[in-house]
Amino acid sequence: MTRAPETAFILAAGLGTRMRPLTDDKPKALVEVAGRTLIDHMLDRLKAAGAKRFVVNVHYFADKLEAHLKTRSDLDILISDERDALLETGGGLKKARPLLGDDPVWVVNTDSVWLEDAGHDAMKDLAQMWNPETMDAALMLAPLARSMGFDGHGDFFLDGTALRFRGEAAQAPYAYMGVQITRPQIVDGVDEAAFSLSKIWRRLAPEGRLHGSVMTGDWMHVGDPAARDAAEARLRS
């Protein structure tokens, strides 16, 4: 049986420009939804999924985020410091590599909250599906029909568990939720300092090395103040 990763990398360095004015004085990771910060929502999910080591990248209002993370005495948290320059998702993972090791890791955004249907556990399902022999990354997906705050036309089609990008199609049925399991080595051969993981995914998908697991429930992408308010109302209901 595949074991869930014990190390997690949390992407929390972004400027949060779409979330203004809520991010005028703090990073997006510290915006609260239903009385809990976005990063705490995600840290709690990761802890429940079996993660024991947490690496968080910081840039915007880095001091505030670091101070908040020190209050999480229940977790072993390390900082990947990106104060000098934003590195995007792939560059952030590459910079954090010495802290992450070589075993598969969780890589997550902070702007994602969700409610699962009874009897389902999306992160457990993703971990059970994960197979490092046949996959380089496995993404958690939400059905577009059960997504809030996502203004795109879907990201992926599924062929079994293998992912195919939407491409020229008008719409795809699944959106990436900002949670994945990946081999950290996927960034080792990239020369650029700042780059997106999606660049690597577009290479992996045709090779059959990019896979996905669909969450059974309601996903809320918390990308702007209106989406935050809608997510809060949904969680409190």
Over the stretch 157-183, which tens digit does the pLDDT of each residue have?
999 999 999 999 999 999 999 999 999
In this prediction the pTM is 0.94
What residue ranges define each of the domains in the chain, with the CATH number in brackets? 7-236 (3.90.550.10)
What region does 116 belong to: left with phi over 0, alpha with psi -120 to 50, or beta? Answer: beta
pLDDT, residue 3, reads: 77
Q: Which helix (H) or strand (E) holds 46?
A: helix 38-48
Taking the C-alpha atoms of residue 60 and residue 21, their distance in angstroms, rounded to an integer, is 14
Using an 8 Å Cβ cutoff, are 218 and 114 in contact? yes
- The mean pLDDT value for 120-142 works out to 96
- The mean pLDDT value for 128-137 works out to 95
86: which residues sit within 8 A by CB, 6+ positions away? 13, 14, 15, 59, 194
The residues with which 105 forms a beta bridge, in sequence order, are: 182
Chain segment 31-71, per-residue pLDDT in tens = 999 999 999 999 999 999 999 999 999 999 999 999 999 99
Taking the C-alpha atoms of residue 179 and residue 10, their distance in angstroms, rounded to an integer, is 9
pLDDT cut 70: percent of the chain above it: 99
Two tokens, residue 228: 């935050």
